[in-house]
Structure 1
């Protein structure tokens, strides 16, 4: 069964609409983790701050990922603002990531899919590939994107540079901690955001890996419902558990490779 046949069998369009509560959750889900991690780092409790920094990175990724697909439930400006602010706090141009992610959906795991390059590697190769992955995300945007993407990327990179310069020049330790942890997270993106959900799926790229298990998905903020996302990219992350239930009910025979 191909991609189009699958999407015709599952009701999904009603899941695009967010309630006010759901919209507030999707647009602010990263903030508690962000402020708690910064507060603990400010107090010098860096080890205690680490898990909160990790959860910030994951929830911020969820937030901007919804922004890529216009699934935050807000208008264009607020979506742009969310992506811009998270660019600074995640020390990566999110518009560059968006450009490559949209191409990833269009050319999934083909030669034109620069985001998906690490999917064909071994797990340790994907980890080592991380720094090159982040460099290529920006370089490919510079080479192939339209003027609007390039303008946003350059603006974000300048803003990030100012943020990093201020933190290091004035030796603001808790911000330096945050910047270093975010760099570390970005270097692991090729493994966690690509390899874990796409390895050994090249025979049918749009049937990506997924995750079942209540606590596993709670702890990962539903970010590993990746098969569901590839089949129905317009569905916001908060609705993916319900979408997964519909897919399981309508297509119980579908081979669902687990993420972990």
Structure 2
């Protein structure tokens, strides 16, 4: 039996079967992965605490005027925030769907924008896999400098695509999250007079503009749809520093496996198909 290929597409979006040949590799049938899907209660609690800790540290440093340190903490908050929403996209947080939906609303407020719009495009990305119509993966074919310049347009494109192709419920959710962000930004810039909150908004806007490069280009550049779809990391220390977010070929092969279990999945894949992990992120 072939590996499952992730969550179902929204009912309003019809996408042709664009699976590359690597996903039919018979070697992958021997990879045990279903035992890695369940999330332990301690992991359910730890996952949202991870970005919360980095967020608190960044705000404290900004409050004391140490903005260089604050930026470092904000970077790791955004990275771990992406880890949380990424698991939420695939209902891999170990929570109910309702609770997962609430997480996406909260992260939309903290990180700005609509995480439900990002989810819509991410599930399309898993279906189309760098093919035509894969909006999320568009920067993968660009040179690095162009992916960086593309950054400010990337979040806009994600939101426009989701609003254009999503169903009515999704559109209302996206508009609600965007309205929430707009009100929040207006309050901070208008009458809250908090330099810490203004710093946080600025840091999140920068983070959103960098996702095309850091979250897409770094893991997909110079890859192809026939065999080497994505990149990965072999070094245990590098994976700890990046919170396993760059174990990306592993994620594409078995998207239901939560990020916290990707290191074990990576070892299992390496035993049967080491060539699939030949392209590294850094």
Pick the TM interval, shorter chain.
Answer: over 0.9
Name the CA shift for 1:205/1:176 in 2 (closer, same or farther; >3 Å).
Answer: farther
Where does the alignment leave 5 or more consecutive residues of structure 1 unmatched? none
Secondary structure, aligned partner of 1:168? helix
Change (3 A) 1:138 1:207: same
Match of 2:243 among 218, 221, 230: 221
Pairing of 1:34-73 with structure 2 (within 5 A): 34-73=55-94
Give the length in aligned residue pairs: 260
Residues 123-134 of structure 1 aligned to structure 2 (within 5 Å): 123-134=144-155
CA distance in 2, matches of 1:84, 1:254: 35
| CA distance in structure 1 between the aligned counterparts of 2:52 and 2:70, rounded to whole angstroms | 14
Decide whether the 8 Å contact of 2:28 with 2:269 is kept in 1: no
**Partners of 1:208 and 1:230 in 2: CA distance:** 8
Q: Residues 205 and 175 from structure 1, CA distance in 2 versus in 1: closer, same or farther, beyond 3 angstroms?
A: farther
1:58-207 to 2 correspondences below 5 Å: 58-170=79-191, 171-204=193-226, 207=229
| Pairwise CA distance, 1:76 | 1.4
Following superposition, the deviation at residue 239 of structure 1 comes to: 0.1
Shift, 1:46, TM fit? 1.6
The alpha carbon displacement at 1:6 in A equals 4.5
Residue 255 to residue 178, structure 1, CA distance change in 2 (3 Å): closer
The ranges of structure 1 where at least 4 consecutive aligned residues each deviate by more than 4 angstroms after the TM superposition are none
Tell me the equivalent position of 2:261: 239
Runs (5+) with no aligned partner, structure 2:
1-20
CA spacing shift, 1:206–1:100, aligned 2, 3 Å: farther
Q: Would you say the 8 A contact 2:228–2:276 is kept in 1? A: no
- Distance of 1:196 and 1:46 partners within structure 2: 26
Q: Which moved more, 1:226-235 or 1:203-212?
A: 203-212
Distance, in Å, in 2 between the alignment partners of 1:25 and 1:193 is 22
Cα RMSD after superposing both structures? 1.4
Confirm or deny that 1:252 pairs with 2:277: no
TM-score with structure 2 length normalisation?
0.89
Q: Structure 1's 163 and 12: CA in aligned 2 closer, same or farther, altered over 3 A?
A: same
The one of 20, 26, 31 equivalent to 2:52 is: 31
